[in-house]
Structure 1
């Protein structure tokens, strides 16, 4: 460190000297933050003991700052570009492999070269702010040696801040007038746009600021009126976010809202820093109180708000520079609202999969039994398609067509496949947790909801199995009388039974894959429900003149309403069928043990195989297969439910830490009424009081 200080030329603007100095401060390994704290304190002591080196470092830093352009550092770093989500994603991925060329004329590029490691912001934040401020004071207050010319920093940094404010204001104005945003909040056309007015007010403020710096004004007003317009801009953004929960959203709209929020937040921070009179309220996101308390030891007075704000902004800029090419951060900032909308729509669908009483349980059993009829024929068709011995990709297409057509038929008939429920009911549980998050979780009510989900799921599975096994058995039994031979030969039958063996085959692993696809289909359903709302699919269908001439106005109206309300369900079943159909073929082409095991199809295959073996099956094989089918169903449900609940909780920013209390509450419910625990009560329960709406009503 001392050797680097001795090499510093006060009149040089070379970056390598600063790179070497920071390398002395950077801890090795990077998680040893205590080493960084010690290095900063050591540097401070060295400069205190040698005023000549402190003066040389001061002149060197002033020269660096004076010869670089500041604006892009304050207006771009840590803020999304205007390119859109997918363009930004592509740029970040490409720059991770081949970063762009540096341009030393810009201060932001100097920051990239000096703090080039992705983890630099961590140790910089770990060093107490008091140490950074002490180091700054030592360098800034260094006395020039005898005969040295004074070295005063001109208004370069201040002018960079003012230019950044003007740039950000123009950007907020442009983003606020985007047709995508106006489409989502049409009320903005009924009055003067706050995004436009804030730009006018900020230009007035900056013009007055310039006259003040030139000495043409003795005193200038603060920017409180500008902050009022920024408040109105944020109110519009909040209304659009809230409205998106009922009207849907898109990746482009979410990206636009994030970029707007970041730009407005940065504007507030820069306005606070350049405020001459110090009359502006501090921006809440700066957390100035925490920074000020950390910046000074308990025995000293707190740091001034402006110093605390400056160091907080510096740390934010460094973190933004270190993470500007991270793909994870881009997804984290942009997908939350979209994920919330997807899971919110899935939650609304999940309400239909929860039986409140015995009457609804009987309806669920009947609905599930109807789906079992369809699945029995789907199992037969898949076996016949396999006999065609087509090319792998053609076979995958035929399997997918069989699955998708069957699942869509089940949906059209308003029947229920049990394993599709967890991906929806998990969202319903997460929505219930979210409604009570502000006032504490009601464990007993949550236990009651989970109990309803559990018994509804059990009844649905039993309904599927109650019909799929007899239907598959009857198909296999009747098949020889029609064709003269069994649907499956003994070798094929033994293979089908072996596929459900939980001990000697990867049946449970394949069941987990099916659980993942069930979860994905739930997300697809939520996504298309959101898309149907956001793009107004129903209205667009009603506008088709050709379809109106064919169907008539009344039928077209019913069709548009059906598509708007069921697009998610139809697309979810379509994609689920495709995923089920192609998994085995992909595994075959890649040489990987990939396949799917679904409880209803496994049960149907067992019934068909039993006939194919002329019932010559040992009891231990029957028992092993039945246990395997039960375990396959359990894995299907647990994987899809667990993934869906995890995503729903993450989308709502909920952490549930009451698992033990929930289990105890369910245990008390079982002990008090074992029969009602599994088959529900006879009476219709009173409806819960309406919670504060999280999304608009239709």
Structure 2
């Protein structure tokens, strides 16, 4: 009688070694037990392979086997501990033929009775056609794991291999272990037909026909695995063809392929090619089979290229998450079909079979991960946002002296506009309105100021890092080559120099402008625009010794978030083809004429992201502090340009006596920390997002950081003043 899990657990707790635990487990194996109990037994065996514990120096021989019935234990070999446990398990089974026959029969019956297509074809593949459906499915799977009674191999693999390192040790199983596992699991060739059925298996009926419910033996030369692989291939090719011929994909095929008739698309011919492979296999014609398999590979490659065209279309014309979800699922199915085809053609290559199992385990684990789903499906949307920011950020990097001086002028103009913004802000706060209403008015003040800078082509220093970081990430695409690496280093140096120029241009204009406005008002009208108490409170609030660094870092997060909103706005505008809708709008064409409507459409396309990003940034700087202060902790915006202008107003009110006070210089130090944290935080967040959109990690960026340090140590002046174009060209040339 099959022992229950509770009984096994009590026995294992009383055991002193892993070998005794294994003996207890193998002793209760029963090939005639119900499916759920056999499945549960195999899960416990897999957990024993994962579990730690001391192994005996040599497997004990059972009383029925004798001391010389199997090989002795081999010396320990290097490798994962799971390899040693699998080797120990096989030694024990070799010394106990009855156990070995029973375990082999159990595994074979499990594989035959379970649905292998769920593992070969569907493992790692999202079932639902939308992101929300797949997300709810994975959350449910995390809360309710599959039961051992489910007759599909995907559920069995989920329970057997939960560890993240399982695919690694499975893929690296040595050849000798693979051969011995095959001898254990695979039924001896035609052994059942010879009249010696394996233990626990039903022999064929006397009249040559299988009894009802008995396992059907595979034809000679065609293993059950081969049949399952071919069935899964057929299933996958049908699904790929169906998705590829859907309007979602056909409408996004770019180039000449969009004008090709449907019957000439690789998706249309894929199912017929798969049927030709099956017919050649059934006819027993090896040469024809090889030819049909080659044609099937070419069509799968054509489907992959068409999928790349769809993604290229999405990059250019906007991203919809559900569309990304469906196309990415089709690409995964193409890759799985190629893997199964390789395994089917190399059925004797045990290492390839092990790698296939490892890939299936890894895919099955990924299909249960909510984090993996979110990352994979938002990667393309992140890349689209990054591409927009990269195109915009290129305008904020001064690479030569002319561009450097232009940036200084733009930053100076931005400082003058911010001076007006500072005084309006003091007027809003001086009205003593409710905090939320005050936040809304302050946000509108900021938004109007940023829009004026946008349309006047002026610059606000702290908005640049979130835009320029994606530009650097795009240049990382060619950083593996010497020329690309040199260009990347030059761009980083130019970026640092440009950021310093922009901050200085803002601060050196907003501070004297605010100071001059207060001095002029005091001289002409004998009035202070803010009270002396408010001036002292302003200086004290900017002190480096207070929460100013924390507020400055949180402000950097808001600056980065505004770039995301700008990218999403541009993606929405392009995805819904608003430019074409405006250019061909009947009322606009009648009012403005065709040329006027086209100019309006181009204007909206060029400024949609900028306007939306500036409006959102302004409102966030005003409203978010009020919201956070109301529900969590006190939070104030600490923006370097606005704070520098506020210090100028406070000095104009308090006079020269503040030059000898400590609160002024603590406030100056606080503004310096704002400049660093505003820029650093927003740049770091944008760069992290840009690197993730290109699947780049720290190990890929670390060599570039060393190259940047070498450049700065050799030419430190480049950080404050650009060299001539000729010198830059020589520096960027590969050595």
TM-score range, shorter chain: 0.7 to 0.9
Inter-partner Cα distance in structure 1 for 2:675 and 2:231: 63
Q: Does 1:340 align with 2:383?
A: yes
Question: CA separation in 1, counterparts of 2:726 and 2:581?
Answer: 40
**CA deviation after TM superposition for structure 1 residue 194, in Å:** 0.9
Q: Deviations over 1:574-623 (max 9, x none)?
A: 22223322331233123324333110011111122223435542423322
Aligned mates of 1:516, 1:669 — CA distance in 2: 32
Q: Aligned pair in 2 of structure 1 residues 327, 170: CA closer, same or farther (>3 Å)?
A: same
Aligned pairs for 1:474-553 within 5 A: 474-477=516-519, 486-502=528-544, 504-553=545-594
- Counterpart CA distance in 2 for 1:642 and 1:533 is 27
Counterpart of 2:245 in structure 1 is 177
Instruction: Measure, in 2, the Cα distance between the counterparts of 1:218 and 1:243.
Output: 41
- Offset from partner CA, 1:18-41 (integer Å, 9 cap, x none): 122222112349xx9844222111
Q: 1:63 aligns with which of 98, 102, 109?
A: 109
1:386 aligns with 2:432: no
Partners of 2:524 and 2:143 lie apart in 1 by: 63
| 2:45 alignment partner, one of 21, 40, 59 | 21
Q: Does the aligned pair in 1 maintain the 2:465–2:679 contact within 8 Å?
A: yes
By how many angstroms is 1:326 displaced? 1.1
Is the 8 Å Cα contact of residues 379 and 693 (structure 2) preserved in structure 1?
A: yes
> Does the CA contact (< 8 Å) of 1:528 and 1:571 recur in 2?
yes
> Is contact 2:507-2:644 (8 Å) kept?
yes
State the partner residue of 1:663. Answer: 709
Partner deviation per Cα, 1:197-235 (whole Å, 9 max, x = no partner):
1022213433554x44xx9x8986232221121111112
Q: Once the 2 structures are TM-superposed, how far is the Cα of residue 103 of structure 1 from its aligned partner?
A: 5.9
SS at match of 1:679: coil
Cα displacement (A) at 1:47: 0.8
CA distance in 2, matches of 1:17, 1:650: 42
Compared CA separation, residues 485 and 577, structure 1 to 2 (3 A): same
CA change 1:339–1:69 in 2 (3 A) is: same
Residue 269 of structure 1: CA displacement?
2.0
State the partner residue of 1:324.
Answer: 367
Q: CA deviation at 1:170?
A: 1.6
Q: 2:197 aligns with which of 142, 149, 155?
A: 149
Distance 1:393 1:117, change over 3 A: farther
State the distance in 1 between where 2:729 and 2:323 align.
36
Per-residue CA deviation, residues 503-539 of structure 1 (Å, 9 max, x unaligned), is x211112111122222232333344444444443321
CA contact (8 A) 2:252 2:309 kept: no
With over 3 angstroms needed to count, the CA separation of the structure-2 counterparts of 1:240 and 1:686, relative to structure 1, is farther
Distance 1:180 1:263 in 2: 17
Q: Which piece of structure 1 moves more, 468-477 or 227-236? A: 468-477
Question: Are 2:49 and 1:49 aligned?
Answer: no
Pick the aligned partner of 2:31 from 10, 31, 43.
Answer: 10
Q: What is the aligned partner in structure 1 of residue 648 from structure 2?
A: 607
- Quote the residue 1:200 is aligned against: 272
Equivalenced residue count is 652
SS at match of 1:461: helix
User: What CA distance in whole angstroms lies between the structure 2 residues aligned with 1:651 and 1:423?
Assistant: 15
- After superposition, what is the alpha-carbon deviation per residue over 1:442-480, rounded to whole angstroms, capped at 9, x for unaligned? 655444333322222222222212322233334445667
- Say which of 429, 439, 446 aligns to 1:403: 446
Deviation at 1:120, TM superposition (A): 4.4
Partner of 1:168: 236
- Kept in 2: contact 1:103–1:109 (CA 8 A): no
Residue 661 and residue 392 in structure 1: after superposition, are their counterparts in 2 closer, same or farther (change >3 A)? same
What is the distance in 2 between the residues matched to 1:107 and 1:208?
29
TM-score of the two chains, using structure 2 as the length reference: 0.80
Shift of 1:56: 0.5
Mapped contact 1:587–1:595 kept (Cα < 8 A): no
What is the TM-score normalised by the length of structure 1?
0.84
Residues 674-689 of structure 1 mapped to structure 2, 5 A cutoff: 674=717, 678-681=720-723
Of the structure 1 ranges 601-610 and 587-596, higher mean CA displacement relative to structure 2 is found in 587-596
8 Å contact from structure 2 (residues 324, 377) kept in 1 = yes
User: Where do 1:400-439 residues align within 5 Å?
Assistant: 400-437=443-480, 439=481
677-686 vs 266-275, greater mean Cα deviation: 677-686
Q: Distance in 2 between matches of 1:169 and 1:364?
A: 56
Contact 1:373 1:468 in 2 (8 A): yes
Using CA pairs under 8 Å that are at least 6 residues apart, name the structure with larger relative contact order, 1 or 2.
Answer: 1
- CA shift in 2, pair 1:78/1:33, >3 Å: farther
Greater Cα offset, 171-180 or 616-625: 616-625
Instruction: Within 5 Å, give how 1:228-239 maps onto structure 2.
Output: 228-239=298-309
Change (3 A) 1:560 1:487: same
Residues 673-697 of structure 1: CA deviation (Å, up to 9, x unaligned): x4x7523346688889999xxxxxx
Partners of 1:499 and 1:658 in 2: CA distance: 39
Within 1, Cα distance between the matches of 2:298 and 2:725?
Answer: 55
- Equivalent residues of 1:433, 1:441 under 8 A apart: no
Deviation of 1:561 (Å): 1.0
Give, in whole Å, the separation in 2 of the partners of 1:446 and 1:228.
Answer: 38
Are the counterparts in 2 of residues 347 and 424 from structure 1 also a CA contact under 8 Å?
Answer: yes
1:548–1:653: structure 2 CA closer, same or farther, 3 Å change rule? Answer: same
CA change 1:165–1:530 in 2 (3 A) is same
Partner of residue 626 from structure 1, selected from 642, 657, 668: 668
Residue 508 to residue 605, structure 1, CA distance change in 2 (3 Å): same
1:84 aligns with 2:133: no
